[in-house]
Amino acid sequence: MSAAIAFRGIRKRFPEVGLVLDGIDLDIEPGSFVSLVGPSGCGKSTLLRLVNRLDTDHEGTIRFDGGRTSASVAIAFQEPRLLPWRTVRGNLELISDVAHRGAKIDQLLDLVQLGDFATALPKQLSGGMAQRVSLWRPTGSRSANAASTSAADSCAAASRRLAFSARETC
């Protein structure tokens, strides 16, 4: 099985701070869950910026699905990034496939046990609920890959299992 994302010899240097990533070799298998853990400034977010091609000034290669050099990758932020004036449903609808929006959103809401909160605003949610909505936005898109520095770490283990198993069903 080929890696969904493969990093080879990744090196990244910032003029202000020097070398941040040095010789990163990493294979992320399809359907796997990977957490990037480390102190502030060690390169976690930098690696995500590279995989999304938000920063192309690096050494080494990043390959997707066995060979492609670019792909659609969604990011889940550490903190929930919900639009406060939009409901839970409204936040999820922002990036969902328009052709299947209604049924897909209903399925996602039920799967993460937020069906009763579809019309709630972010300020009415618990921290874990807001985090689940935030994690759903990348998985509700057409993206085949979702990336996170530590958003999933701040959710309960059950929520992580629900979120990532649902990614495979939707």
Per-residue pLDDT tens, the chain, 170 aa: give them: 577 888 999 999 988 888 999 999 999 888 777 777 888 778 888 888 888 888 889 999 988 886 666 666 666 666 778 899 999 988 888 765 554 566 778 888 887 788 899 999 999 988 888 888 887 765 554 444 444 444 444 444 444 444 444 444 33
Crossing angle, helix 157-169 and helix 101-111, to 10 degrees? 150
Statement: 76-169 belongs to CATH 3.40.50.300: yes
Give yes or no on whether 5-71 and 76-169 have one common fold. Answer: yes
Which residues fall within 8 angstroms of residue 60, CB to CB, at 6 or more apart?
7, 8, 9, 10, 11, 23, 24
CATH number of this structure's domain 5-71: 3.40.50.300
